[in-house]
Chains A and B, each alone.
Chain A
């Protein structure tokens, strides 16, 4: 069948003995270290461990013991999911796949020694390193806001306590109060995310606080699924959502977390809740590893390897790969291509051609789901879009309901694909 590594070793052993043997062979089991246990990292770790059947040593470094998926966290805000529904642990990856799960922060990468250092002390050696650290925020992106203000003005763009905080603030809004969002510039994690969030906040307010208002300051002239969201806001939350795009000064924003004010194009407004989603960049470890160029880490489309270092791969939001949106689905898709390539490099397993795909579902109101998706291929320059589709405005209620139910099925599918 395929060229088995043992067979290869048997045939080549005599020759190799006299030469300087490759590192992988000299040290026994090849080692893969994965930093970040989200849709990219957990999937890559699981696939490499599963498909190499014990031939590769896999370590997953992830600080959270309980991982909250960013996807579906808006549905928690809208009351369609419990927080526990989007919480996952790494027990199965450790117990059933033999992955060494290390709950710690990766604090640095020594590319010459090929080690990753940990906040808790010590370092872990690797033959191949996969970085899937998600996003961090660009300093000074929104005037008046930094991470120290996240308790007053939450970003809730890394799911968990921030999401819970934002929900509590929404529920505590005074009657007829104002919810403000500062939306991020491109490119950012989950392009429909801020607008699905607006829909979910509107859904909650319509029920509990129907005279409340929502204002969105957006530095962009348009956004993902714009026609679908605007149709939904008009039909379901009439008069509640005021979206201020680039043309009306949506990009000229400052906030004052102590006074709870937002100033849009010179006009100051007192608000009750302010969700600040700043401009984003690759999770910091990518920068510390020296594989970023600007805010993101450029990669080769065929295998997600870094353009700066052939032994480092970057997945998901942190990568700069071409046409794919920064989404959990994309990261999961990229992880499988990467896992196939890494396994092949370390064990000589067969490499199959890269195929990527993405679909993003969003919920606008109860049983009113929409989606957008595309397929992609690897070209020498980038991951390039092949074909795509998007839900249409004016679709009937049955189709929207089926789309929502499909998204629930997808959530069950992708989380079991990530966490086993």
Chain B
């Protein structure tokens, strides 16, 4: 898995302009900014962004569909949100490919972006206006492209999922294995790297939460890798 991730990275890095840090197949944010020009007639993003014809797009990652208070969404999108649709890289991409196909009653009158690279790029651009995965619990667990300074040797550790399953019982007192995230974030199905980076950020007290600093503080590198391996795909 780690290998396939590295290979994807390498391909992307070779084929697209140099990027400051590794991003999976998320796309190129600079190119996405250009694509976003098509969206600007209705949507604002960035500092001071407000709702216009469409809702502003700050913090859209991880947000429930039709989840912005004070914006008058179509019933169709409200229903989708209530049925559990959240905006992540994959759902955003599917939506902007053909909004009406995705949510038939949407008021978003846009014919869609057919080119997968354009979509990946614009999603990468929007990603910059959502919380960074360093800042969990606010972060979007499926966010990609983590900026960190973790030793590659630590990231390369292959975790033992069986040990992780035992260690996980300390986590599941608070974090639900089914992934509920009211008050306490979901920690299941994260990419291994995001999990490891987050735990080391607590261990090193870069992230502020006292319970997590305490729990992570006594986990070894191998134990963190084991937990990442387990929670990546529990059962």
Contacts and interface: CB of A to CB of B under 8 A. Distances in A.
A47 B165 CA distance: 11
B170 A336 contact: yes
Given A406-B183, A409-B182, A410-B184, A352 B173 contact: no
Most buried by B among A332, A336, A374, A405: A336
Given A371-B211, A414-B174, A417-B172, A409 B166 contact: no
A96 to B, nearest CB: 13
Nearest to B185: A409
A333 interface: yes
Interface stretch (B17-25, B92-100, B213-221): B213-221
A182 to B, nearest CB: 32
Nearest to A369: B183
Contacts of A295: none
Nearest to A328: B173
Nearest to B178: A416
B218 A408 contact: no
Given A352-B163, A355-B167, A405-B183, A410 B215 contact: no
A413 B215 contact: no
Interface stretch (A24-32, A120-128, A384-392): A384-392
B182 to A, nearest CB: 5
A412 B175 CA distance: 9
A375 interface: yes
B180 interface: yes
Contacts of A350: 162, 166
B210 A389 contact: yes
Nearest to A387: B214
B176 interface: yes
Interface in A50-81: 51
A292 interface: no
Interface string B110-132: 00000000000000000000000
A407 interface: yes
Interface residues of A, number: 33
Nearest to A391: B210
Given A47-B169, A414-B173, A414-B174, A357 B184 contact: no
Contact of A410 (B162, B167, B183): B183
B214 A357 contact: yes
Interface string B155-193: 000000011011101101111111011111000000000
A359 interface: yes
B31 to A, nearest CB: 37
A333 B174 CA distance: 11
A329 interface: yes
Given A389-B211, A405-B183, A408-B182, A329 B173 contact: yes
A357 B170 contact: yes
Contacts of A355: 167, 170, 218
Nearest to B210: A389
A340 B214 contact: no
A375 B215 contact: yes
A375 B218 contact: yes
A386 B218 CA distance: 9
Contact of A406 (B162, B166, B172, B184): B184
A32 to B, nearest CB: 17
B173 A413 contact: yes
Contacts of B178: 416
A148 interface: no
B183 A409 contact: yes
| A contacts with B: majority SS | helix
A413 B184 contact: yes
B80 to A, nearest CB: 24
A412 B162 CA distance: 25
Contacts of B183: 405-410, 412
Contact of A413 (B163, B175, B214): B175
Nearest to A389: B210
Contacts of B210: 371, 373, 389
Contact of A333 (B165, B166, B173, B184): B173
A350 B163 CA distance: 9
Given A350-B162, A410-B184, A389 B214 contact: yes
A312 B167 CA distance: 24
Most buried by A among B162, B176, B210: B210
Contacts of B165: 51
A350 B213 CA distance: 28
Contacts of A417: 169, 172-173
B108 to A, nearest CB: 32
Contact of B218 (A2, A352, A359, A387): A387
Interface string A315-352: 00000000000000100110010001000000000101
A413 B172 CA distance: 6
Given A352-B166, A352-B167, A410 B173 contact: yes
Nearest to B175: A413
B177 to A, nearest CB: 8
A413 B167 contact: no
Interface string A39-51: 0000000010001
A375 B217 CA distance: 10
Given A350-B162, A352-B163, A355-B167, A410 B174 contact: yes
Contact of B174 (A340, A375, A386, A409): A409
Nearest to B180: A412
Interface in A365-420: 371, 373-375, 386-389, 405-410, 412-414, 416-417
15 contacts: A2-B162, A329-B173, A350-B162, A352-B163, A355-B170, A375-B214, A375-B218, A389-B211, A405-B183, A407-B183, A409-B184, A413-B172, A413-B174, A413-B175, A413-B176
Among all A-B residue pairs, the 10 with the closest Cβ atoms: A409-B183, A409-B184, A405-B183, A389-B210, A336-B169, A352-B166, A413-B174, A408-B183, A410-B174, A406-B183
